[in-house]
């Protein structure tokens, strides 16, 4: 037996895959039409429905999903099937505002999420606050992806390849193909990554539970050894479920990288068609990761905290020894899992660099700089951001799900200016600023103070409800004091 759980063949396959990603980066670079922000960050607004659905799928189902979610399933049991509704809620959030945003973005040449804020509300302070919250949130999200990379590589190699080496190598691959080809490279790699993940998860479902009898045997074991894992969720858990659906639905649909894919769609029709396909993806993806977590709970008792994030790699290492078929499947799942993590990390990094370059430096020290200059600066910032986050990821202190919840509670405070702002013309920029500010301060204060929730609801969601109430209530008050609409979006059509 090889000292590497999946064998040197798996390492070689993964190496070829990583080289292919770099090759796609060079190919995407050759197809670039210039150094404009739109071409680099939005692929020239040319993404059709097929590429859109796979790039959204690969981005949405990240390291948190394929590594963190099985670990959470092992902690909560069958109640974690609630995660299906989380992912569906995100697509519902998209459908509320994305088609309108795409049309406006194409007409006015938006590149970053901040461009919508500038156009819709014409408020510099609101734009600044929005961008600060987006950067904080997605930097946290990117950190989670880097941690997931390390867990996967360490797990499949039996720690022969250390956690920090896995993080470092994959970071270099991502940043190389991204700086070469921008969103075009990211989207093309997402097509391959999303397809591999989808096929791998279907195969994983077969290996984990080939038939109904295997589900029954697993349930019987859980009922005997961990009855709380199969019990009807308590009222508190059900409340937390509802809270999480709302939290992830509103925050997940305003990821900066998702917004930029909305901008990059070839047309509103292409966007709608991709979202119609996306609504079915959770029904295939989430039951598999829940099942993996429960199987891991049965096989590896006593895993808690960060250690539980190793469940998927440990199971794959075992399944790979059963037969040639399960070995090949394990290799595909491992590569698909790395692909999912990388596809999310590269998308987040691209959005982060665009915001830092265009919305922060482009409005201050680089004001008046050419688009080529801003694009070049954005590439350099990508390297600096990755280096800074990697130093933190080398010593993980939180579970992947913990990082996800923390990020969502901050990110959700941004959702009213996109969703409510697109749906309701009367939302006032001043009201949106004060609502977001109060929501962000409350959410951060609760997190720093260790407040776990209120009656089962996330503290970030409670802060979001206050945020929305201020947005709506103050908009009516300001409209009464100064009749007429002050929204640039309505003035400009």
CB atoms within 10 A of CB 212: 8
Please give the model's pTM, rounded to 2 decimal places: 0.83
pLDDT in tens, 179-206: 888 888 888 888 887 777 777 777 777 7
15 occurs within a structural domain? yes
Element (DSSP H or E) covering residue 188: helix 163-208
- In a 3-state reduction of DSSP, which class is residue 457? strand
Structure tokens at 303: 């895993």
Pull the structure tokens for residue 397: 């202190």
CATH number at residue 284: 1.20.1730.10
Burial class (CB in 10 A: 0-12, 13-18, 19+), 456: middle
Average pLDDT, the chain: 83
> Exposed, middle or buried: residue 423 (CB in 10 Å: 0-12, 13-18, 19+)?
exposed
Q: How far lies 293's CA from each of 117, 241, 311, in Å? A: 40, 18, 7
Report which of 183, 240, 243 is spatially closest to residue 51, judged by C-alpha positions: 183
How many structural domains are present in the chain? 1
- Rounded Cα distance between 249 and 208, Å, is 29
Residue 259 confidence class, pLDDT cut points 50, 70, 90: very high
pLDDT at position 1 over 70: no
Instruction: For residue 73, give Cα distances in angstroms to 84, 87, 222, 232, 330.
Output: 12, 15, 12, 15, 20
Query: Could you give the CA distance from residue 202 to residue 204 in angstroms, rounded to a whole number?
Result: 5
- 158 compared with 149, residue with greater pLDDT: 149
For residue 450, tell me if it sits in a domain: no
Q: Is the pLDDT of residue 400 over 60?
A: no
Residue 20: inside a domain, yes or no? yes
Whose CA is closest to 223, among 235, 232, 236? 232
395, pLDDT greater than 70: no
The pLDDT of residue 233:
82
Task: Quote the pLDDT of residue 466.
Answer: 97
Q: Report pLDDT for 130.
A: 95
Model confidence band, residue 214 (pLDDT cutoffs 50, 70, 90): confident
Give the Cα separation of 175 and 215 in Å (integer).
42
**Greatest CA span in the chain, whole angstroms?**
78
Q: For residues 136-154, give the mean pLDDT.
A: 77
Pairwise CA distance, residues 347 & 363, whole Å: 23
| Domain assignment present for 56 | yes
Count other Cβ atoms within 10 Å, centred on residue 342: 29
Q: Which one has a higher pLDDT value, 174 or 215?
A: 174
By mean pLDDT, which of 154-163, 287-296, 370-379 is the weakest? 154-163
Beta-ladder partners of 47: 265
Question: Can you tell me the distance from the alpha carbon of 225 to that of 36, in angstroms, rounded to the nearest whole number?
Answer: 60
Judge residue 101's burial from the number of C-beta atoms within 10 Å of its C-beta, 0-12 exposed, 13-18 middle, 19 or more buried: buried
Nearest to 57 by CA among 267, 261, 357: 261
Q: Are 273 and 433 in contact (CB under 8 A)?
A: no
Whether 438 is covered by a domain: the verdict is no
Q: What is the mean pLDDT of residues 85-95?
A: 90
User: What Cα–Cα distance (Å) separates residue 246 from each residue in 121, 188, 488?
Assistant: 25, 31, 29
Q: Name the residue among 264, 284, 283 with its Cα closest to residue 274.
A: 264
> Which pLDDT does position 311 carry in this prediction?
80
pLDDT, tens digit, for every residue of 378-387?
A: 888 888 888 8
97 contact partners, CB below 8 Å, separation of at least 6? 253, 418, 419, 421, 422, 423
| Chain centroid to CA 300 | 28
Position 314 in a domain: yes
Q: What are the CA-CA distances from residue 97 to residues 90, 165, 167, 259, 275 (Å)?
A: 12, 41, 36, 10, 12
Assess if residue 1 is contained within a domain.
no
247 found inside a domain: yes
Domain range for 303 is 7-413
Phi, psi of 457 (to 5 degrees): -90, 140
- For residues 440-456, give the mean pLDDT: 84
Both structure tokens of 192: 């391959």
Instruction: Please give the Cα distance from 397 to 387 (Å, whole number).
Output: 18
How does DSSP classify residue 79? G
Q: Which of 30-34, 206-210, 385-389, 458-462 has the highest mean pLDDT?
A: 458-462
List, as one string, the DSSP characters of 372-432. Answer: HHHHHHHHHHHHHHHHHHHHHHTS--S-HHHHHHHHHHHHGGGHIIIIIHHH-TT--HHHH
- pLDDT tens readout for residues 19-61: 988 999 899 888 877 778 899 999 888 889 888 888 888 777 7
- The residue among 257 and 340 whose pLDDT is bigger is 257
Q: Which of 69-73, 412-416, 455-459 has the highest mean pLDDT?
A: 412-416
What gap in Å lies between CA 401 and CA 381, rounded to an integer? 27
Torsion of Cα atoms, 87 then 90 then 92 then 98, to 10°: -140
Phi/psi of residue 485, nearest 5 degrees: -100, 130
Find the distance separating the first CA and the last CA of the chain, reported in whole Å. 67
Contact 71, 311 (CB under 8 A): yes
What is the model's pLDDT at position 492? 38
Question: For 110, what's the count of Cα atoms within 13 Å in the CB-facing half-sphere?
Answer: 24
Percent of the chain with pLDDT over 90: 26
Q: Which comes out higher in pLDDT, residue 332 or 90? A: 90
């Amino acid at each position: 037996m090889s000292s590497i759980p999946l064998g040197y063949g798996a390492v070689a396959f993964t190496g070829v895959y990583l080289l292919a990603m770099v090759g796609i980066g060079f190919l995407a670079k050759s197809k670039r039409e210039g150094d404009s922000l739109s071409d680099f960050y939005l692929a020239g607004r040319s993404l059709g429905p097929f590429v859109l659905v796979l790039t959204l799928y690969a981005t949405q189902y990240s390291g948190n999903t394929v590594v963190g979610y099985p670990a959470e399933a092992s902690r909560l049991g069958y109640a974690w099937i609630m995660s299906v509704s989380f992912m569906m809620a995100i697509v519902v959030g998209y459908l509320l505002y994305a088609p309108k945003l795409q049309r406006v973005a194409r007409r006015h040449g938006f590149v970053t999420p901040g461009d919508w804020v500038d156009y819709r509300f014409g408020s510099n302070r609101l734009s600044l606050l929005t961008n600060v919250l987006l950067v904080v949130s997605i930097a946290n999200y990117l950190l989670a992806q880097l941690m997931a990379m390390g867990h996967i590589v360490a797990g499949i190699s039996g720690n022969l390849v250390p956690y920090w080496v896995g993080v470092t190598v994959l970071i270099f691959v991502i940043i190389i193909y991204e700086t070469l080809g921008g969103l075009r490279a990211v989207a093309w790699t997402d097509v391959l990554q999303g397809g591999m993940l989808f096929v791998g998860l279907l195969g994983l479902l077969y290996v984990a539970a080939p038939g109904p009898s295997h589900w029954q045997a697993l349930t019987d074991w859980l009922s005997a050894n961990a009855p709380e894992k199969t019990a009807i969720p308590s009222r508190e858990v059900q409340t937390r479920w509802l809270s999480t659906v709302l939290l992830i639905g509103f925050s997940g649909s305003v990821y900066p990288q998702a917004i930029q894919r909305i901008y990059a769609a070839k047309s509103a029709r292409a966007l709608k068609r991709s979202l119609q396909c996306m609504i079915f993806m959770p029904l295939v993806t989430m039951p598999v990761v829940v099942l993996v977590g429960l199987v891991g709970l049965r096989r590896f008792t006593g895993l808690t905290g960060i250690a539980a994030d190793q469940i998927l790699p440990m199971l794959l290492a075992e399944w790979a020894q059963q037969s040639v078929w399960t070995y090949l499947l394990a290799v595909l799942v491992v590569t698909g899992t790395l692909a999912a993590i990388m596809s999310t990390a590269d998308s987040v990094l691209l959005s982060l660099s665009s915001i830092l370059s265009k919305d922060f430096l482009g409005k201050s020290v680089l004001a008046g700089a050419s688009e080529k200059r801003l694009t070049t600066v954005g590439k350099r910032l990508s390297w600096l951001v990755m280096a800074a986050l990697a130093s933190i990821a080398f010593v993980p202190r939180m579970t992947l799900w913990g990082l996800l919840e923390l990020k969502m509670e901050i990110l959700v405070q941004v959702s009213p200016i996109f969703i409510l702002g697109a749906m309701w013309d009367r939302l006032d920029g001043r009201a949106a600023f004060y609502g977001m500010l109060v929501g962000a301060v409350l959410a951060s204060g609760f997190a720093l103070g260790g407040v776990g929730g209120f009656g089962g609801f996330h503290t970030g969601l409670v802060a979001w409800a206050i945020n929305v109430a201020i947005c709506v209530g103050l908009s009516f008050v300001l409209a009464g004091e100064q009749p007429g609409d002050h929204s640039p979006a309505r003035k400009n059509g």
